[in-house]
Structure 1
Amino acid sequence: MAASPNPTVSVTAASTARATNTGPLVIVTILFFMWGLLTSLNDVLIPHLKAIYTLNYLQAMLVQFCFFGAYFIVSLPAGALIRRIGYQKGAVTGLLIAAGGCALFYPAAQGGYGLFLFAFFVLAAGITILQVAANPYVTVLGPAATASSRLTLTQAFNSLGTTVGPALGGMLILAGTSTVAADQAAAVQGPYLALAAALAILAALFALARLPRIDHAEADVPAAGAVGSALHHRHLVLGAAAIFLYVGGEVSIGSFLVNFLGEQQVAGMPAAQAASYVSVYWGGALIGRFIGFAVMRVVSPGKALAFNALLAIALVLAAIFGRGQAAMWAILAVGLCNSIMFPTIFSMALHGLGRHTGQGSGILCMAIVGGAIVPFLQGWLADRIGVQPSFFVPAACYGFILYFGVKYANLHRQGATSA
C-alpha cells in the first residue's frame, strides 16, 4: 500500500506535532488481532453447526457466504461513512456493530440456523468497517517505501488472533459431550457474549485514545497516470482479482480443515482434536508474517508473492493426492505460504494510485467477498466428489496469485505507470 511520489495522504498529530507513530500503530494492531480471532472462529463453528442442523457441505458454507458477503455489500458504504465521520470514529462504529453481531449469537442458539447466518452477517459488517479504516491507517504510519513490510507486521497480529481463535473455540464450543442439539447450539452463547463485551470495551478505549488524524487531500499535481477512476489502473483490477482468490482459497482451506482431518484416509480425528490443528494452519501465517516483515525489506514483494504461491500450489496438490500424515501436514503448511499474501497484494494493488487510493482500498476490501464465493464453490464440489479432491479449488486460486506476482514482480521499482 505504498503512496504515490506526490503523497496524497498526510498524518497530522492529534496531540503534538512531535508525536511518534508507535502508539497509534499498537492500537490499530489490536484491531487486527480481534478481527483475526473472530474470523477464524468460523472454522470451528462450521462443522459444529453442520452437525447440529444436519447440513450438507454447501449449506454449511452459507456461514462463510454470509460472513464474507458482508464485505462486498458493506465495503463501499463503509468507505463513505469513514470519509464522513473520520477513521477513528469509523473504527469505533465498526467495533460496536461487531459487538452487536456477537450478541446476536445468544438468541440464535434458540432461533435456528437462519438467525445464526444473520448474526454472522452483522458481525462481518462491523469487521468490514474496521478493515476499511485500519488498512490505510497502517500505510501512512511510516515511510511509503516500507508500507508492505509494516502492513505485514500488523497482519502478523491478525494471524495471532486466527491462531488463538480455533484452539479457544475447540475448547469452549466443540469439547462438550452433550448430544442434544439444543445444548450444542447453546455452547456458543457464553463465548460470544464474552466477545461482545470485549469489543464494546475496546470501542470505548479506542474512542478515548489520541490518534493521528488522516487527511486525504488532493495533491497539487496528480500522480502520473491518475485518471477518473481507480479502475483505470490495470494493476489494481488484477490485484482485486488476486485478493478475491487469495481470501477465497485461504478461507476455503480453513473452513474444510476439521472435516479434512476427520477423513479416515487422512487423520480420522474427532472435531475437537482437529480444531487444535486449525490453529497450526493459522499459526503458520503468523510465523511467516514475522519472517516476511524482515525478508520483504530486501526482496521484491512480487517475487516473494510468486514464490509463496508456487509453494502453496505444490502443498495443496500434495494434500489432494497424499494420505495420512503427509497429506495432513502438507495442507497445514499452506498457512505458512499464506503469510505475506494479503498485505503484499494489497500494497502492490494500491501502488501509485495517488488521489484514488481511498477508492482503491474500498475496491480491494470488496474483493474479500472471495471468502464467500470460493468456499461455496468448494462445498458444492465436496458434496459431489468428496472433501479431499475438492481442494483443487484453492489450488487454482493460488495459480492466479502466482501469475499476479510474476507479472508485477518489480512494480515498486518501476512505478505504477509502467505496470
Structure 2
Amino acid sequence: MKRNTFIVILIFFIFFVISFLSNILSAITPDLSDGFHLGIGLTGFLPFAFFVAYGVASIPSGILVEKYREKRVLFWAFLLAFAGALLFAVIPTFTVALVSLFIIGVGMAMLQVVINPLLRVAGGEANFAFNSVMAQLFFGGASFLSPMLYTYFVKNVHTSANPNFIISMLNKVVPPDLKWVSLYWAFALISLVMIIIVQVVKFPVVVLKDDERIDTGKSFKELLANKYVWLFFLGIFCYVGTEQGIANWISKFLQIYHKVDPTTLGASVVSYFWGLLTIGCILGLFLLKLFDSRRVLMSFTLGAIVSLLAGLFGPLEIALYAFPAAGFFASVMWSIVVSLALNSVRLHHGTLSGILCTGIAGGAIVPLIIGGLGELFELRFAMLFLLVTLGYLFSIGIWAKPLVNNATVKSWRDLFN
C-alpha cells in the first residue's frame, strides 16, 4: 500500500488540534470559575458539558463514518468545533459556555472515530504502530503547549504596551475582564483553517477492517451480555475520570490552598502534567516489552495514588512536582486498559471499541462529582474521590484474564527486535 505522507502529517496535526481544544479546559477552569462567579459545584459542569459529548456521540459517529465516509465527517466535525468556539467567543456567558463545550465535544468525538482508520490507510499498515505512537506525541505536545498560549494571551491582551497584530485584533473583540476568551477566538480560527484544508484535500478511500466496524445489531447485544465488557467500560470511565479529575482541578486547588496565580504558575503545572503524561507513554512502551501489562498498570497506579496524596496534603514545593508526577504515572493506563479489553474478547473489536469510547464520559462525571463534593467538604477532601477511580484501575491488574498476554522479551538482546 502506497504511503501518503501529506495525509499522515495532516492526521498528526488533527491529533494536535483535538488535544489543543480538549485539554486547555484544565488550565482555564479557574478563570472560567472566577469570571462567571461560580462555586466549585457549578465549575464541575464545565468539563461535564464537554466530555459527556463523547458518551453521546462516539457510537453514532462510527455509524456516520460508514454511511458518509471520512471526508464529510471530518468536515462536519470541524464545522461543529468552529461553531461552538465562535458562539462562546461572541457570547461569553456561563450558559453559552456549557452549550459551546458540548458542541465542541461532539466535534472532537467525531474526529476521534475517523482518524485512526484513516491513519492506518494513509500511512500503511506496516507503519501503523509507529504512526500511532507519533500521533500520541503530537496529542501530548498540544496539551503541553496550550496552557502556554493561554498564559501568553492573558499576559498580553489589554495589557501589552506595544501589541502585535494578533493581540491588537483580540483587544477589539475580547472583554477586558475575560481575557481568557481570546483562546476561543484562536480555536475558531484553527477550526476554520481545518475546514478549508479538509475541503480541498483528497483523502484516500478507507475500507474498514472488521475490527474497526461498529455494529449496533447482534454483536452489540452479545458484547453487552459479556460482564468483562462492562468491567472494562468502567475501567475506561475511571481512567478518563481520573485524568480529567486531576487535570481540571489542579490549578483551582493551587489557587485556593497555595494562592498560586492560575494564569501563570497554575497553568505551568497543568502544562507539565500533560507533558509528563506524554513522556510517560514512551517509557510505558519500553516497560511493556519487559513486564506483564497488568503488573505495569498496578505499579503505575500506586505511583499515581502516592503522587496525588502528596500533592493534596504536601506543601506547595511538593505539590508543584507531585501533580505533574501523577500525570506521568497515569500515562500507561489508557493503552493498557484498552489492550486488556480487546485481548479479553475474541470478536467484534470495532463495536467493543465504540462501547469503550463511550466510557470517555467518565471525564464528564468524575470532575462533576468532585465539584459537588467540594461544595460539601472543600476541594482537598473532594479530590480524594479519585482514590476510588484509581483503586478500580488497580483492581484491573488483579482480575483481568486476557486471552492473549502482551509479548515480553526473553533477554535484553531481543528488546529492539
TM range (shorter): 0.7 to 0.9
The equivalent residue for 1:165 is 146
Of 9, 17, 38, the match for 1:34: 17
- Which residue does the alignment assign to 1:280? 272
Give 1:1-400 correspondences, 5 Å limit: 18-20=1-3, 24-109=7-92, 112-137=93-118, 151-173=132-154, 182-185=175-178, 187-207=179-199, 208-211=201-204, 213-217=206-210, 228-264=221-257, 267-273=258-264, 274-351=266-343, 353=345, 356-400=348-392
Supply the RMSD in Å over aligned alpha carbons. Answer: 3.0
The answer on whether the counterparts of 1:131 and 1:365 sit within 8 Å (CA) in structure 2 is no
Aligned-pair CA distance for 1:67: 0.6
SS in 2 for 1:213: coil
| 1:334 Cα offset (Å) | 0.5
Q: How many residues align?
A: 384
Uncovered stretches (5+) of structure 1, i.e. residues with no partner: 1-17, 220-225
The Cα offsets for residues 76-127 of structure 1, whole Å up to 9 and x where unpaired, read as 2212211211234323321221122111122222xx2101111111111100
Judge conservation of contact 1:281–1:336 (CA < 8 Å) in 2: yes
- Which AA in structure 2 matches 1:351? N
Between stretches 210-219 and 196-205, larger displacement belongs to 210-219
**Residues 239 and 146 (structure 1), Cα distance of their counterparts in 2 relative to 1, 3 Å cut:** farther
**Could you tell me how far apart the structure 1 residues matched to 2:211 and 2:23 are?**
38
For 2:294 and 2:236, the matched residues in 1 are separated by: 14
Q: Is the 1:175–1:272 contact (alpha carbons within 8 Å) kept by the matching residues of 2?
A: no
Partner letter of residue 232 of structure 2?
G
1:117-162 deviation per Cα after TM superposition (whole angstroms, max 9, x unaligned): 1111111110011112234555776669985x76454223211111
Question: CA offsets, 1:278-330, max 9 Å, x none?
Answer: 10111111111222234334443333222211211121122233223123321
Structure 2: gaps (5+ residues): 160-173, 213-218, 408-417
Q: 1:367 deviation in Å?
A: 0.9
TM-score, with normalisation over the residues of structure 2? 0.82
Deviations 1:57-88 (A, max 9, x none): 11011111111111112222212211211234
Change (3 A) 1:45 1:355: same
Specify the alignment match of 1:15 in structure 2.
none
The structural deviation recorded for 1:230 is 2.5
Structure-1-length-normalised TM-score: 0.82
How far apart are residue 38 of structure 1 and its match? 1.0
C-alpha separation in 1, matches of 2:192 and 2:87: 14
**C-alpha separation in 2, matches of 1:158 and 1:36:** 5
How far has the Cα of 1:410 moved from its partner? Answer: 5.4
**Residues 227 and 160 of structure 1: CA distance in aligned 2, closer, same or farther (over 3 Å):** closer
Taking structure 1 as reference, are residues 344 and 173 closer, same or farther at Cα in structure 2, changes over 3 Å only?
farther
What displacement does 1:56 show? 0.4
Superposed CA deviations along residues 303-362 of structure 1, whole A, max 9, x for unmatched, are 322221121112112223322312332122101012122233223323365652222122
Distance in 2 between the 1:388 and 1:182 partners? Answer: 32
Instruction: Look up the equivalent residue of 1:405 and give its one-letter code.
Output: G
